[in-house]
A and B are shown apart, each in its own frame.
Chain A
């Protein structure tokens, strides 16, 4: 029972990060109809910025802010410099370009920082509070929950309750009509990329210290888990991404705890496959009539 409680809390903590990362994927999907396979690499690049800034200033928080700023910037740059010029007529084109970006970013990071693991610091202790001999959430876990909760509510507020959010939604639904209404559709697209990439950078900052450390490939497995979470949630639904993230976090935690951590990468793929086979629209999609 103790073990179950521990695995559940641990799974929720990791799930919160997957939720944030899945949310980033959903944001770009909604804005641009692109699955951003480069999101992991972009987020790692932002984490390296944090590493450099923290190393230079000795402050975790300056590095943290730098990572968020770098994330926003990388997103905007990828949209303005690369994705804008990709022909979106075939959905495969932006995917291939994104995969190319992954190779490019990881190669550049490898050249600049080398490909050894670098330790990533945390602002709070990762020692869990113990209650009656049972190790529960650590202060760092609480920080992760709080950070993800703040970001999720801020995004929900922006999209539902601000004029900019309304324009972003309108531009995503019907770009030509929005243009006629005076919406700067290109700008909204860039904003969507920047926001998503910023959220991705946050997720990387939260998850990397709990893994082996900073490395050009540090987010590869997280990306697969978060992509699964986004698909579980339906790829089009921000609440779905959050729930999907928590579900994936829990499933992986139980698999790792009860069946062995070697199996977790396999478990992610099995979960992804199962969702795609049984409910390709995600758990939250209305069941669509079969198209003939």
Chain B
């Protein structure tokens, strides 16, 4: 049986525009897989397919060999968590509450116990709080627990977003441009963090990473998939991909286009 997440021949069209065309990739447990490609290559659409925001017209997904029909609110239950571009934190909640919300699928007590003040809902809340603090502590930002996200530097907010995703105890973490807006030192720290994720104890998780920032991708990924105009133009280890002529073409082409624009 095939472990981990796999996409088989995924195709997505928006009107006349082909966003993804026959895309297949695998994220086995314990691996960090990167998806790179120029702007508009279909990277974010790929994430949206995995999250269930976009339903592919062709192709299928499997998780541990079983067919997967993703729905956004079921995702964390399947062991998949996602970060969003630009963090997507709840501005009106504290850092700690943001991270607690990330684990909300694990809270069992429903509304009635909460309404009646049964001990179970108290225990749930206390456990969420404790676990969220642990995750924040693991990322070295526990001292910001009571702060409003808006008051924190961007690099810390990125970390809070990561903590919120990890609070769900995912087996697979989808990172959407985690280096966006970060400076050199912050990116180096982030790379170190991402490399640790598959070896995390007690919740190791595989990573699927969409990123523009080439240094980060090359530093952390075990495997790379290169998208261009919705198609996979190359796949393999970072070294293999780096030397692939199709990749240099796509990137050089993009660079030339940008220079011309």
Contact = CB atoms under 8 A, between A and B. Distances in A.
B205 to A, nearest CB: 16
A161 B125 contact: yes
A183 B101 contact: yes
Contacts of B114: 158, 162-165
A42 B124 CA distance: 33
B158 interface: no
A143 to B, nearest CB: 21
B72 A170 contact: no
B168 A173 contact: no
A125 interface: no
Given A165-B114, A167-B104, A181 B92 contact: no
A211 interface: no
B192 to A, nearest CB: 25
Task: Determine the interface band of chain A, counting residues with CB < 8 A from chain B.
Answer: 20 to 34
Interface residues of B, number: 36
Contacts of B81: 180-181
A163 B125 contact: yes
Chain A interface, DSSP helix/strand/loop, else mixed: helix
Contacts of A191: 111
B105 interface: yes
Interface in A176-228: 176-185, 191
A237 B115 CA distance: 21
Given A164-B109, A164-B111, A191-B111, A178 B125 contact: no
A166 interface: yes
Interface stretch (B38-46, B83-91, B226-234): B83-91
A169 B93 contact: yes
A112 interface: no
Contacts of A161: 122, 125
B26 interface: no
Of the candidates B92, B102, B115, the one having the most CB atoms from chain A within 10 angstroms of its own CB is: B115
A83 B176 CA distance: 34
Nearest to A185: B73
Contacts of B117: 154, 157
Contact of B109 (A157, A163, A183): A163
B97 interface: yes
B74 A164 contact: no
A202 to B, nearest CB: 14
Contacts of A158: 114-115
A170 B128 contact: no
A111 interface: no
A181 B164 contact: yes
14 contacts: A158-B115, A163-B125, A166-B93, A166-B97, A166-B101, A173-B90, A173-B92, A177-B84, A180-B76, A180-B82, A181-B76, A182-B74, A182-B76, A184-B73
Interface of A: 154, 157-158, 161-167, 169-170, 173-174, 176-185, 191
Given A166-B128, A177-B88, 7 more contacts: A158-B115, A163-B114, A166-B93, A169-B97, A170-B101, A178-B101, A180-B82
